[in-house]
Amino acid sequence: MNDPPKKLDSRHVAHWELQPGYVYFIAAGDPPTAIKIGISTAVTMKKRLRQHQSSNHEPLYLLGLVYFEDVERPMAAANHLENELHDRFSSQRRFSTGPGNEWFSPNEELLAYIEENAQAPAEFGLAKSVAKHGPGLGK
């Protein structure tokens, strides 16, 4: 997750909060066996997806994004929505490691939320996946 900078002065936190950003939904596998709900600045979204893929054996697919730009503090707003979604879907957490765990079991409610509220990666010039192998992906 791209949390607000820690151990930095308020100027750095304020700078982070002012960046355009996303709440993203990443699926592990197709069909999904788990969905990650996270946040990233717009500038670092591609890097975040590559980081997640490099640490997963399953191909990851970007299901959708909620974009924040035209609000006073975009990343703060994204962070707020992410926390709300983590609370809303807390019973679906994949592992009982506490609130830091951002992977959730897919269910109808979560998939419907993504369908109704998120935009497709292509709308932001982002690929659906960066995996090199997997169903429908190049080798």
DSSP 8-state code for residue 72:
S
Question: What pTM, to 2 d.p., does this model score?
Answer: 0.83
Helix (H) / strand (E) containing 23: strand 21-28
Contact status, residue 71 vs residue 17, Cβ threshold 8 Å? no
pLDDT in tens, 19-75: 889 999 999 998 999 999 999 988 888 888 888 888 888 899 999 999 999 989 999
Q: What is the C-alpha end-to-end distance of the chain, expressed in Å?
A: 28
Per-residue burial over 78-110, b = 16 or more CB atoms within 10 Å of its CB, e = otherwise: bbebbeebbeebeebbbeeeeeeebbbebeeeb
